[in-house]
Structure 1
Amino acid sequence: MPLTALHATAGALDLTAPGVGAIPWEQIHRARPRAPLTCRECGHGLHAKVSPLGARFFAHDAGAPACSLTGETMSHRMLKMELATAIRSAGWHAELEAPGTGWRADVLATSPDGQKRMAWEAQLASTTAQDLTKRTATMAVEGVDVCWVSDKNTPWMGQVPSIQVQSPGESEHATNSGLAVIAGPAVFDPLWCERARRCDRANAPYGRPPGPCAGHGHWTGLGDPMDLHCFVQHVLGGAVKAVRSSTALHLGFDRHNAGPYVWTTHPHWAAEQKQLQAQAARDAWVADRGPHWDAIPSQRALHEAAKAALLARQAALRPLAVEFVATQAGGPVGVRDPDPDWAMGTPLYVHDLAQAVISPVASRINDEIKQRLASVTVIVASTKERNRLARVCAAEQRFEEFEVETAKPLKPPSGVTLQRALDHLYPRY
């Protein structure tokens, strides 16, 4: 149901603006004669209404054609109103349900000088990243940036410039003033080797010099939520912008893979650019040493064998691990892909809470991962694997061992163990 209407003589009326417009509410709600109102989207007649909770809105008259504004939920309308309020608090003009050429913005923000426009879209219904990408490009043709806003962790989050918000009743993340932004903004956490000319973390072939450090930084989400009004003010003021990241995103344990778009400030964008330049310099350094510098056939085969052995062991353990977790946690078990945050082990979740991890790689376990693993059960295939992991895990780490059969790995070259191959394949960050 729309929050705006077109009056035959007074023009556009907006229920979220201070005052409805040039006409008082009493002259359009249950007025006689009836106020001449039409929908800005479909042109059909509208009439003013009040919900049982006292919210004002416009409703289509009987016999209305199909209109995108007809099926809006109360949550959708409330989010549009909150976005409009935040935009006006930032000193910009907010127009609801603003039409464009081939698009319509839920809330269109226009700068005080009229030179800049930005659409804020309350996207609560199911859609796809492809559809939102197309709609974003359509608005970009007219110089209109866009931010897609949802209250769910959707598959398209980050695939387009977007944020996730929560209300006070849903989470302690929400602020006193209303909605809180809990996903979308990010910072770049730079990480460089102490000896810049010798990268201690490079995935270099055995016996080869590691070369210059290309940087090991990544994007991370904000530690604390941000008030929606504050976020809107920073975006409209130009301090925060949407950028397409080119390096790893470690944005927490989201249900969906994080997309490349993040909202950040210029210093964090510049930090990523510095790392990308360093990576280009390292690529050039490797290229100068010839095409075979990082492609030793025997080592490459060993790496593939090590990876295949790890994946085979995890696959063999998976059904037993799922049965074990289901019994212990009493709920449906979700199995995810091997994850660097779990030392390349396969995590198992129940109701979005991690319960166990199958066969993590010992060399990938740092202090942060050690602490994370301490809260779950580590599933292993042998006493040897358990002992190897116990040396790097916390003293109180819980283990569960199952006997499974897996294909024997390729025999490594003399002096090179399979575990060393795994260490090379998955170097510690």
Structure 2
Amino acid sequence: MYAHVTARPDFCGWLRDPERTSCEYFTAHRVGEVGGYVLTLTARHAVRGLLDATLTDLGSAWSWEAVHRVRPRVDLACPECAHRVHAKVSPRGTRYFAHDPGGPNCVMAGESLEHHLLKLELATAIRAAGHQAQLEVRGPGGHWRVDVLSSSPDGAIQMAWEAQLSAITLQEIDERTQRLAADGVGVCWVSTRPRPWHGAVPSIVVTPPPTDDPDWQVAAGPAFFEIEECYVHEKPWQCPLGEHGFWHRLDITLPALVRQVLEGTMVVHQPTEQVLLSDGSWSQVWTSPHHIAVAARFGIAEREGQQRQARESLEWHARKWPDANRVLVQEWQENLPEDAWQALHSAVAQWIRTETGKAPSFRHQWIAWNWACGVPVCVDGRPYGVIHPDPSKVDWRFLTRMVIFVPSDTDRQALLRSAPEGTRVVAFLP
């Protein structure tokens, strides 16, 4: 029903006029009025339903000429306040519906001409992307109202595009976002200047087109992730990966962003940390699934690198200071449950008595790098073997001729891959 050519009034003609700036254009009229009229882009007809001035056929298979300057006058009403409206065209070709004099205090009076222009641009971009666009739509039960509602060709996916130019608190905008989400409707909040709530909800900042470009530009909100070579650390060993990942602001036009969002190639993303862009800090950004995946992989690699770097530092200190070594030993031995340790000690003691005819002694208090976080076992006061050493920390120069006792065959195989030929590794538990 809405897949028609948009009748895009020449709002932008003002912006391209070298005699005027966009600021002058938006302040040339009283708020919500053109020539003293409270305007709206939609009107309701008793038979045709909702008429949309931005569509060539008004969205109802009806021409503009059927409602503009006809006698007798077509009976049209404002969708918001139900007061009578009539079709008008501005000197620059802007099609709209104006309230008759003496109307009630309509909510449309609170929308500036800039607001209407932005709604038109959003609707135009949505329709250019092959989706339906309805203006000034109320939700079920009337508990929400949106400037522009986009619908996929099959009607299965709906998304609200809100031109939020007036002041609003973070709590209010979050509540409105949640009400839409409760009905399965996503949202993108659009403004023309930075606001305190930017990034806290799915949002973008747009600017009117320059004189040589017909499209509005997205000044903030979209981002891409890029990995760069480290230039922060002087020493290579100081940087875990030798590179860093950063989010950067993405330059894109409003029609291109709308198309990518509707196609699903750009989605709202909430990174684990605040994203610092050139225009401020954002907790949510619009980006592609590809960049989300790249950032996620880099985050995992970075955390692993930091853990590896911390571990290497601890191991370096462990060679010199007993306290650091004690931390390593405790962390490794806690990987094996207490009951498994007890069973392993009993099995080792029985094995050594059978092998040597003597009772072993376990030296838990011996905490040294030599034992690779394992527990030394002595016979006649001399080192005989080690229980459950960490394969990643074994230095076979210190464990030569020692019997290695491990809880499973998996541990045995892990040690034998690096053990010198002839090393005895005994596994006890399945």
Q: TM-score, normalized by length of structure 2?
A: 0.57
Q: Which residue of 1 aligns with 2:247?
A: 219
Matches within 5 A, 1:159-308: 159-169=200-210, 176-191=213-228, 200-201=237-238, 216-222=244-250, 225-252=251-278, 257-278=280-301, 281=304
| Equivalent position of 2:388 in the other structure | none
Map of 1:2 onto structure 2: 40
Counterparts of 1:244 and 1:214, CA distance in 2: 26
Supply the distance in 1 between the matched residues of 2:61 and 2:70 (Cα, whole angstroms). 15
Contact 2:54 2:95 in 1 (8 A): no
Encode CA deviations 1:104-163: one digit per residue, 9 max, x unaligned.
Answer: 111111000111111111122222333222211111111111111112122222221111
Cα distance in structure 1, aligned partners of 2:295 and 2:106 = 44
Q: Which moved more, 1:273-282 or 1:8-17?
A: 273-282
2:403 corresponding residue in structure 1: none
The equivalent position to 1:117 in structure 2, one of 152, 155, 158, is 158
Taking the aligned partners of 1:155 and 1:180, their CA distance within structure 2 comes to: 20
Match of residue 49, structure 1, among 79, 84, 88: 88
Aligned AA (2:295) = E
Among candidates 85, 109, 127, match of residue 88 of structure 1: 127
Judge conservation of contact 1:95–1:109 (CA < 8 Å) in 2.
yes
The answer to whether the 8 A contact 1:214-1:278 is kept is no
Aligned-residue CA RMSD (Å)? 3.1
- Structure of higher CA gyration radius: 2
CA deviation profile, 1:380-417 (whole Å, cap 9, x unmatched) = xxxxxxxxxxxxxxxxxxxxxxxxxxxxxxxxxxxxxx
TM-score, normalised via structure 1 length: 0.57
Q: 2:190 aligns with which of 145, 149, 168?
A: 149
Residues 214/40 of structure 1: CA separation in 2 closer, same or farther (3 Å cut): farther
Q: CA deviation at 1:10?
A: 0.8
What is the rounded CA distance, in whole Å, between the counterparts of 1:51 and 1:280 in structure 2?
A: 60
C-alpha deviation, 1:285, in angstroms: 6.7
Q: Does 1:74 pair with 2:97?
A: no
Q: How does 1:357-376 map to 2 (within 5 A)?
A: none
Equivalent residues, number: 272
Cα deviation 1:232-270 (Å, max 9, x = unaligned): 111111111111122352311xxx732211111112101
The question of whether the paired residues in 1 share the 8 Å contact of 2:274 and 2:282 is answered with no
Quickly say closer, same or farther: Cα 1:199–1:250, change in 2 above 3 A. Answer: farther
For structure 2, the residue ranges without an aligned partner over 5 or more in a row are: 1-38, 317-430
Give the corresponding residue for 2:148: 107
Contact 1:218 1:248 in 2 (8 A): no
- Structure 2 residue identity aligned to 1:220: H
**Same amino acid, percent of matched pairs:** 44
What secondary structure, in the 3-state scheme, does the structure 2 residue paired with 1:274 have? helix
Query: 2:120, 2:170 → 1: CA distance?
Result: 25
Range moving further from structure 2, 57-66 or 176-185:
57-66
Structure 2 CA distance for aligned equivalents of residues 149 and 248 of structure 1:
20
1:105 counterpart letter in structure 2 = V
